Amino acid sequence: MTAANPYRTLAAASQNSSIQKSKKVAGRPGRKAPRRHSSSAKRVTKMGKLQEKVAVVTGGTTGIGFATAKRFVDEGAYVFITGRRQKELDEAVKAIGSNVAGVRGDVSKLQDLDNLYETVRAKGKIDVLVANAGIGEFAPLATLTEEHFDKLFDLNVKGTLFTVQKALPLMKDGGSIILIGSVASVKGTASFGTYGATKAAVRNLVRTWTVELKDRRIRSNVLSPGPIKTPLVDLQPPEAIARILTTIPMGRMGEPDEVAKAAVFLASDDSSFVTGIELFVDGGRGQV
């Protein structure tokens, strides 16, 4: 037979004694059982990453712009979106629901930009500016026209530049500027040269503004998507899109909300030491 362990016996006796005492205490008349707090009582309201910020998102009626505006509102911001067509603008504002205002205008027209910022001024200063409005078209070098060239550069470069310039008097020191670029700025795609050139220009603007605006602590970054499921992509030749898909390591097109999540990062304090970069959301297409 195995000898009894005296230390184990004493421990067991002590444990039994404690259990009996706790039962007596719980059964005493007039003594209330300890209150247990429900998990809901301990729940703390989570503040959004853009709480009480004011943001402007151009081209905010569909695709990446709409997804970004919606994400910003979900994170606590008040957002102004722009669009050229009133019907689409009204539909977007309704879909987002609250803390959003729509301003009709074309960012390639300076008077429309003046009207936009007069409307924004009534709300206060701008914390975040997303210059998203843009257009893409395929056109081979041998047949592209002056009209094609002017349309893309007017909207994608001129419109972007003056969207930022005219916002500066309203921008808060320490604010964030996000330009929507494209993986086309670093990848050569047949018949897509004009568009790629506009986005390469956008990339260079951010390099310059990072230096020019440093005294105001305004951060400038480029957010460059790869092929994303947007209405703009739907307008492109199917064979061109199919060809591009074969070059994406992840083997699929991205979703607008995947780009919007990256925009929240660049807009928020999560990226407080990030400026002058080009952040790719492209499924790896521009990296291989």
Q: Which residues are catalytic?
A: 195
Q: Is the dihedral of CA 236, 220, 257, 59 positive or negative?
A: negative
In the β-sheet with 278-281, what is the strand arrangement from edge to edge?
100-104, 78-83, 54-57, 126-131, 171-180, 219-225, 278-281
Residues 6+ positions from 163 with CB-CB distance below 8 Å: 58, 107, 113, 129, 131, 133
C-alpha span between 63 and 54 (Å, rounded): 21
**Which parts of the chain are beta strand (E)?**
54-57, 78-83, 100-104, 126-131, 171-180, 219-225, 278-281
Residue 194, both tokens: 């004009």
